[in-house]
Amino acid sequence: MSMACPPNSFAYVIKTGDTFFSLAQRYNTTVAALISANPLVDPNRLQIGQTICIPRQPIYPPCPEGNYYTIKTGDTLYSLARFYNVSLDDLIEANPGINPDNLRVGQVICIPLATPPIACPPGTAVYTIQAGDTFYRLARRFNVSIDALIRANPNVDPDALLIGQVICVPVEES
């Protein structure tokens, strides 16, 4: 079974004698970064043959919803906060240890889910965004038009969906 590692990390199979401390030293990262990249792994109970993810950067953000973003040329935390509709403070808080004034291309950050609770109007149902969801796929799955989805979610950017985000999906009246 192959495992999907977060961006800017790679899969590694535990060998005899491996510890998070020794792996952090060997791969120029930190124990904290290893723990963040492997939230379900108990560092005190590593099993030989177990696969973990090794981050390629020393500071790696914990990201409960898994909304990782890799910094591109021209990105600023301000522009990312506006694009994903989260506050700049929430973005900085979700990424302890990064220098907001010195983002590096290729650096991985976490986009926190900071959307307010949503009340869907009559004729729509609440839906929670899953990995891989797009308005196109949701329109096909729920047999509605993309325009109807956009109209039901005026404050949602279809190009900036986050895992765990709640949207409204029009439902056919029967």
Mean pLDDT of the chain: 85
pLDDT of residue 105: 86
Residue 121: DSSP 8-state: P
Tokens linked to 55: 């981050």
- What's the pLDDT tens digit per position in 93-132? 888 878 888 888 888 899 988 666 677 878 888 898 888 8
pLDDT of residue 138: 93
pLDDT of residue 1: 41
Checking if the pLDDT of 65 tops 70, the result is: yes
Strands (E), the chain: 9-13, 51-55, 68-70, 108-110, 124-128, 166-170
pLDDT of residue 60: 75
pLDDT of residue 23: 94
Residue 56: DSSP 8-state: S
Which residue type does 73 have? Answer: T
What domains are there in the chain, each with its CATH number?
A: 9-55 (3.10.350.10), 68-110 (3.10.350.10), 124-170 (3.10.350.10)
- Phi, psi angle pair for 8, to nearest 5°: 60, 35
- What's the pLDDT tens digit per position in 18-58? 999 999 889 888 888 888 888 889 999 999 999 999 988 77
